[in-house]
Structure 1
Amino acid sequence: MSPDDLALHIARFDFAWITTMHILYPPITIGLAMLLFFAEWRWLRTDDEKWYRLCRFFERLFVVNFGAGVATGVTMEMAFGILYGPFSQAAGPLFGQVLGYETITAFMYEAGFIGLMIFGWGKISRRMHLFATFNVALSSSLSAWWILDANSWMQSPDGVEYINGVFHVVSWKDALLNPDVFGAFPHMLVACLEIALVFVAAVSAWFLLKNRHAELFQKPLKYAMIALVVVAPLQVYLGDSIGLITAKQQPAALAAMEGHYDTYNADGTPNTDWKVVGWPNAANDGFAWSISIPHVLSLLETHTWSSPVTGLNDFPMDERPPVVIPFYSFRVMVAIGGALLLLAFWGGFLALRGRLSMAYIREQKWFLRATLAAVVLPYLAIWTGWWTREVSRQPWIVYGMMRVEEGVSQMSLQIALFWLAGFVVFELAVLFGTVYFLAKVCRIGPDIESPIPPDTRQRLGHIESDDDTSPEYIRPV
Structure 2
Amino acid sequence: MNILDALHLARLQFAFTISFHIVFPAISIGMASFLAVLEWRWLVTRDSVYKELYVFWSRFFAVGFGMGVVSGVVMAYQFGTNWSGFASIAGSVTGPLLTYEVLTAFFLEAGFLGVMLFGWRKVSPRAHFFATLMVALGTLVSTFWILASNSFMQTPQGFVIANGRIVPVDWWKVIFNPSFPFRLAHMTIAAFIVAGFVVAACGAWHLLRGRRDKAILTSFSMALWILLVITPVQIAVGDAHGLNTRKHQPAKIAAIEGLWETERGGTPLNLIGFPDMQAEVTRFTVQVPHLGSLILTHSWDGEILGLKAFPPQDRPYSPIVFWSFRIMAGLGMLMLLTAFLGLVLRIKGRLYEARWYQRVMLLMGPSGIVALLAGWVTTEVGRQPWTVYGVLRTADSVSPVNAQQVGVSLLIFLMVYTLVFGTGIYYMLQMLKRGPAAHVEQEETREHPVLNNRALDAMKPGELT
- Tell me which interval the TM-score lies in, with the shorter structure as reference length: over 0.9
Seen in structure 2, the aligned counterparts of structure 1 residues 309 and 152 have a Cα distance that, compared at 3 Å, is same
Distance apart, 1:164 and its partner CA: 2.5
Match of 1:461 in 2: none
One-letter identity of the residue aligned with 1:66: F
1:146 paired with 2:145, answer yes
Query: Deviations for 1:13-53, whole angstroms, at most 9, x for unmatched residues?
Result: 11111111111111111000001010111111111111111
Q: What code does the residue aligned with 2:305 have?
A: T
Aligned to 1:458: none
After TM superposition, the structure 1 stretch with the greater mean CA deviation from structure 2, 253-262 or 224-233, is 224-233
Percentage of matched positions with identical amino acids: 38
CA distance in 2 between partners of 1:42 and 1:2 (Å): 56
CA contact (8 A) 1:148 1:184 kept: yes
Q: CA deviation at 1:134?
A: 0.6
Give, as a single letter, the amino acid of the residue that structure 2 aligns with 1:135.
Answer: M
Aligned residue number for residue 421 of structure 1? 411
Residue number among 376, 388, 394 corresponding to 1:398 in the alignment? 388
Secondary structure of 2:206's partner?
Answer: helix
Q: Which moved further from structure 2: 379-388 or 160-169?
A: 160-169
Aligned to 2:105: 106
Whether contact under 8 Å (1:22, 1:69) holds in the other structure is yes
Q: Distance in 1 between matches of 2:344 and 2:224?
A: 9
1:432 aligns with 2:422: yes
Residue 263 of structure 1 and its aligned partner are, at CA, apart by 0.6
Unmatched segments (≥5 aa) in structure 2: 450-458
Alignment RMSD (CA, Å) = 2.2
Is the 8 Å Cα contact of residues 117 and 129 (structure 1) preserved in structure 2? yes
**Equivalent residue for 1:217?**
216
1:301 aligned partner: 296
Give runs of aligned pairs for residues 127-166 of structure 1, distance below 5 A: 127-166=126-165
Distance in 2 between residues matched to 1:172 and 1:309, nearest whole Å: 32
The one-letter code matched in structure 2 to 1:441 is: M
- Structure 1, unaligned stretches of length 5 or more? 456-470
Pick closer, same or farther for the CA change 1:213–1:441 going to 2, 3 Å. farther
* TM-score, with length taken from structure 2: 0.93
The aligned counterpart of 1:465 is: none
Counterpart mapping for 1:178-217 below 5 A: 178-212=177-211, 214-217=213-216
* Letter aligned with residue 321 of structure 1: P
The aligned amino acid for 2:158 is G
Change in 2 beyond 3 A, CA 1:473/1:289: closer
Give distance in 2, aligned partners of 1:82 and 1:328: 31
Aligned to 2:348: 353
TM-fit CA distance, 1:473: 11
Change (3 A) 1:454 1:278: closer
Following superposition, the deviation at residue 77 of structure 1 comes to 1.1
Counterpart AA for 2:117: I
CA distance in 2, matches of 1:278, 1:71: 39
Encode CA deviations 1:77-103: one digit per residue, 9 max, x unaligned. Answer: 111211111101111111000000000
Partner residue in 2 for 1:369: 359
Q: Are the counterparts in 1 of residues 205 and 433 from structure 2 also a CA contact under 8 Å?
A: no
**Contact 2:46–2:461, Cα closer than 8 Å, also in 1:** no
How much does 1:454 deviate? Answer: 9.2
Q: Tell whether the 8 Å contact from 1:263 to 1:270 is kept in structure 2 after alignment.
A: no
Decide whether the 8 Å contact of 1:226 with 1:351 is kept in 2. Answer: no
Aligned residues: 451
| Counterpart in the other structure of 2:272 | 277
Aligned to 1:23, what secondary structure does the other structure show?
A: helix
Deviations 1:359-414 (A, max 9, x none): xx1x2111111111101111110010000000011110000000000001121222
- In 1, Cα distance between equivalents of 2:417 and 2:462: 48
Tell which structure's C-alpha radius of gyration is larger: 1
Q: Is 2:215–2:436's contact at 8 Å kept on the other side of the alignment?
A: no
TM-fit CA distance, 1:121: 1.1
For 2:366 and 2:293, locate their aligned partners in 1 and report how far apart those are by CA, in whole Å.
32
Structure 2 residue matching 1:287: 3-state secondary structure: strand
Is 1:340 paired with 2:335? yes
